[in-house]
Each structure stands twice: as C-alpha cells, then as structure tokens.
Amino acid sequence: MLTVALAALAYLIGSISFAVIVSRALRLPDPRTYGSGNPGATNVLRSGRKAAAALTLLGDGAKGWLAVFIAGRFAEPAAVELGMALAAIAVVVGHMYPLFFRFQGGKGVSTALGVFVALNYYLAGGTAATWVVIAVFFRISSLAALVSALFAPFFTLILFSPGNPYFWSVAVIAALLIWRHKTNIRNLLAGREGRFGKQDTGVRIQDSEKSADG
C-alpha cells in the first residue's frame, strides 16, 4: 500500500510543469501556445530566454530526482528498489500527462535524466554522455533524446541484473520517451526535423501538432 502511495505522490510531483510555471513567473508566453507547443526546456528556449529554458531544465530534472529519492527514503525496507522503480515511472508519466495541466505535458527527457541520477550515477552519466555525443555530431535534440533512450536500458543491464526492478523501470521509461517522440521520428525520416540554432520562435501551432519536441 505504501509503495502505491509513493508512486501516486511521484505522479503528482511529475505533474508540476516547470515550463509553464517558469514562463508565468518571467511573464513569457505560455510554451503550449508557440513553437512546438510542447511544455519543455527546448520549446521554452524558443522564447529567446536562455535563463527560462535553463530553469525549466533544472526544475524538470530535479522533480524526477526528488520523486525517486522520496520513494527510496520512505519505502518499506523489503520493497525499496521496487518502490523507487515505480516512482521513477510515475514521475515521468506525470510530466508527460500532468494532472494539473489538463494532461498536456512534455516529452520527459529532463525528468528521465533526473530519475536516472536518483537510480544510479553511472546510468545517468552514460545516458547524458550519449545525448551529448549525438547532439554534438548531428545537432538535433530529438535524435539525441531518442538514441539516449535506446541506450539507457543497455546501460542499466551493465549495472544491474535483468530481473532488477530498475531495469524494467528504465525500459518502460525509454519506451515512453520514444512514444512521445513519435512526431519527431516522422520528421526525422522526412528530413524535416530542426537543428540547434535553426528553430523558429514564437510560431503559433495547430492543436494536432502540439507534440513536436522538447
């Protein structure tokens, strides 16, 4: 019962959208109304305010770490790993489908990284390094996120056994990240995905396109 309660708390923590909160605090447009329409750090950067994007990135990552940390701290001794694994999934789902913002959330990349930091520093370091390498060579944020998501479960297998709850948690999170980037995958295949430094700013989008990136 406690494990379920901690997972529910993690979902609520994940439902806090820092992209929206930071934008409101700095009197910027709602990130759901321009660019890709995605409430994440990448889209907030399109506002031209790097500080706002940095705060969004930090907040989304911190909530992922916090949710898993709380689960590890208060879970029953016999179910610590399971509790942390379920909280990890729940906080990412909360970010993607936030209760407080009509279930219109971001892609979950920053929150997932925060989760990985809480689960294992080496897992987080390997995943982050993969993102950096792909981003530097191809200059496409979504491609870096997709490749990192694909590699994260393999990094987990190096660190933990296949039966460990952490592995299945990371595998589920990776699948969720890939699912949320389905529009980006179509754009990548069509050669239309934007690169760093070439994103449009302040462009109003149609509702059907509000899942583009971030």
Tell me the three state secondary structure of residue 95.
helix
- Do 63 and 79 touch, CB atoms closer than 8 A? no
Full-model pTM: 0.90
Contacts of 121-128 with C-beta under 8 Å, sequence gap 24+, read 122/155, 122/159, 123/152, 123/155, 123/156, 123/159, 123/166, 123/170, 126/151, 126/152, 126/155, 127/151, 127/152, 127/155
pLDDT of residue 213: 45
Task: Grade residue 195 by pLDDT with cuts at 50, 70 and 90.
Answer: confident
pLDDT at 154 over 70: yes
pLDDT of amino acid 11: 98
Residue 210 reports pLDDT greater than 50: no
Reported as a pLDDT band with limits 50, 70 and 90, residue 206 is very low
pLDDT, tens digit, 9 for 90 and up, residues 66-118: 999 999 999 999 999 999 999 999 999 999 999 999 898 999 999 999 999 99
User: How sure is the predictor about 197, in pLDDT bands with cuts at 50, 70 and 90?
Assistant: low
DSSP reduced 3-state for 29: coil
Task: Check residue 198 and give its pLDDT.
Answer: 57
Question: Of 63-77, 109-123, 190-204, where does mean pLDDT reach its minimum?
Answer: 190-204
Q: Give yes or no for residue 212 having a pLDDT over 90.
A: no
| Residue 24, CA atoms < 13 Å, CB-side half-sphere | 7
Contact of 118 with 68, CB cutoff 8 Å? yes
The owner of tokens 């990890």 is: 88
* Residue 32 scores a pLDDT above 50: yes
- Residue-wise DSSP of 122-152: HHHHHHHHHHHHHHHHH--HHHHHHHHHHHH
